[in-house]
């Protein structure tokens, strides 16, 4: 890889908040690409660098924004701010773009003045990558995108670290959204204020444009995520494919619906979750936008076919009565471990167990260990720690569990 470094100011970029800098920024990127790769440096300037169309990067390019540098999408541009040049599609999954890095700066999507659908038919996003290998996004702030903050389809070896996502009050705004196929991803140290899923890994999904793909996903680490009143926390979704070897840990902050959901989103019943670990969760969840009996009606919700899932070290103050761990009626689970889950039961809907296995669910080999429920003595009735509610449980082992009145 060439270590060639260029400054966008040398290609006419103004950064004055008025001049359209799209052509100057793209020329700098293309020049680095022509040299075999390198670093494109965007210095802090007197104001933002306005752009009116997507910037395209390709293999061996590092786009480095200085502290204080801002790229701003102009009114009516209706496009992603950044994408890769050689996009894959459902008909052609070969990955061409690789070793791409986006480091530093602020990317402002001006979402209130742009449309949800891009000119090429794709759903709009701040960053939109289709077919990438060895992608790094680090130390970046993404503000006010019209739909997704970061959208990645067909991927291998992706790391997203120390990213701040700030969405505006619009519907269906995921923060970071991965769509299959893909393997080996790390998403860490994320600060998310979103109006849908803060982080989503979806093997399958509703149609989302001509470049969008679906497929199996595996070897995923999601860690140290702080929600700032996000609607949903972490979504893992598969309906026709497999989602394997996922670790979710270190969740903090506040959401208004579910914290973690394993779901098929009613897109099919042939999916398979396998080797899922959810641990170290201490998140406030109000349930303010939640129907208790729909697929979001739980703090941690599991449905569909799952093999080997562990939920441990979860501390939750229940203010709405939802189950802390909810196994839905469609779930079919082989090997479930719930360990060190503590629920402080301040909720008013005490008929729901803190751990709820719903009627119709199938659970083979379930272990509930070192779990505690603290009931509110001022509420009428006594809430259960575990509520099987007519589920079909092959074997249930409970060890060192307690209810405090």
pLDDT tens digits, residue range 67-115? 999 999 999 999 999 999 998 877 778 898 999 999 999 999 998 899 8
pLDDT of residue 90: 77
pTM of the prediction?
0.95
**What CATH number is associated with residue 122?**
2.160.20.10
Q: Are residues 67 and 200 in the same domain?
A: yes
pLDDT of residue 292: 45
Q: Are residues 226 and 274 in the same domain?
A: no
pLDDT tens digits, residue range 237-247? 999 999 999 99
Q: Are residues 222 and 142 in the same domain?
A: yes
Quote the domain boundaries for residue 335: 267-405
Instruction: Please write down the HEC assignment for all residues of the chain.
Output: CCCCEEEHHHHCCCCCCCCCCHHHHHHHHHHHHHCCCEEEEECCCCCCEEECCCEEECCCEEEEECCCCEEEECCCCCCCCEEECCCCECCECCCCEEEEEEECCEEECCHHHCCCECCCCCECEEEEEEEEEEEEEEEEEEECCCCEEEEEEEEEEEEEEEEEEECCCCCCCCCEEEEEEEEEEEEEEEEEECCCEEEEEECCCCCCCCCCCCCCEEEEEEEEEEEEEECEEEEEECCCCEEEEEEEEEEEEEECCCCEEEECCCCCCCCEEEEEEEEEEEEEECCCCCCCCCCCCCCEEECCEEEEEEEEEEEEEECCCCCCEEECCCCEEEEEEEEEEEEEECCCCCCCCCEEECCCCEEEEEEEECCEEEECCCCCCCCCCEECCCCEECCEEEECCEEEC
**pLDDT confidence bin for 293, thresholds 50/70/90:** very low
Q: Are residues 320 and 209 in the same domain?
A: no
Q: Are residues 57 and 147 in the same domain?
A: yes
| Structural domain count of the chain | 2
Q: Are residues 169 and 48 in the same domain?
A: yes
Last residue of a domain, one of 230, 250, 277: 230
By percentage, how much of the chain surpasses pLDDT 70?
92
Q: How much is the average pLDDT of 350-354?
A: 74
Last residue of a domain, one of 214, 230, 246: 230
Candidate from 28-32, 123-127, 183-187 with smallest mean pLDDT: 123-127
Average pLDDT, the chain: 90
């Amino acid at each position: 890889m060439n270590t060639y470094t260029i400054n966008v100011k040398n290609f006419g970029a103004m950064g004055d908040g008025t001049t359209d800098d799209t052509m100057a920024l793209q020329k700098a990127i293309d020049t680095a690409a022509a040299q075999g790769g390198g670093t494109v440096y965007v210095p802090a300037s007197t104001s933002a660098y306005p752009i009116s169309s997507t910037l395209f990067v390709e293999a061996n390019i590092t786009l480095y924004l200085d502290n204080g540098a801002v790229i701003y999408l102009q009114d009516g541009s209706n496009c992603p701010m950044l994408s890769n040049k050689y996009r894959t599609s459902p008909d052609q999954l070969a990955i061409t773009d690789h070793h791409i890095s986006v480091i530093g700066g602020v990317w402002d999507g001006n979402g209130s003045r742009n449309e949800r659908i891009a000119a090429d038919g794709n759903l709009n996003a701040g960053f939109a990558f289709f077919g990438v290998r060895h992608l790094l996004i680090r130390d970046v702030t993404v503000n006010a995108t019209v739909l997704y903050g970061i959208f990645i389809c067909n991927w291998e070896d992706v790391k997203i670290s120390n990213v701040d996502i700030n969405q505006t009050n619009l519907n269906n705004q995921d923060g970071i959204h991965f769509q299959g196929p893909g393997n080996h991803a790390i998403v860490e140290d994320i600060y998310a204020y979103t109006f849908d899923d803060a982080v989503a890994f979806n093997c399958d999904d509703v149609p989302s444009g001509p470049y969008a793909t679906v497929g199996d996903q595996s070897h995923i680490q999601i860690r140290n995520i702080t929600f700032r009143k996000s609607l949903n926390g972490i979504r893992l979704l598969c309906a026709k494919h497999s989602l394997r070897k996922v670790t979710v840990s270190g969740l903090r902050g506040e959401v208004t619906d579910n914290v973690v959901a394993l779901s098929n989103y009613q897109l099919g019943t042939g999916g398979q979750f396998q080797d899922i670990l959810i641990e170290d969760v201490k998140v406030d969840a109000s349930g303010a936008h939640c129907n208790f009996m729909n697929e979001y009606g739980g703090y941690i919700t599991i449905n569909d076919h799952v093999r080997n899932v562990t939920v441990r070290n979860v501390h939750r103050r229940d203010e709405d009565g939802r189950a802390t761990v909810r196994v839905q009626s469609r779930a079919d689970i082989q090997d479930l471990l719930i360990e060190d889950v503590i629920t402080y039961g301040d909720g008013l809907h005490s008929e729901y167990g803190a751990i709820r296995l719903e009627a119709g669910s199938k659970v083979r080999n379930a272990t509930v260990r070192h779990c505690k429920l603290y009931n509110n003595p001022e509420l009428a009735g006594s809430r259960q720690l575990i509520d099987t509610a007519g589920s079909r449980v092959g074997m249930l082992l409970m060890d060192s569990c307690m209810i405090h009145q």
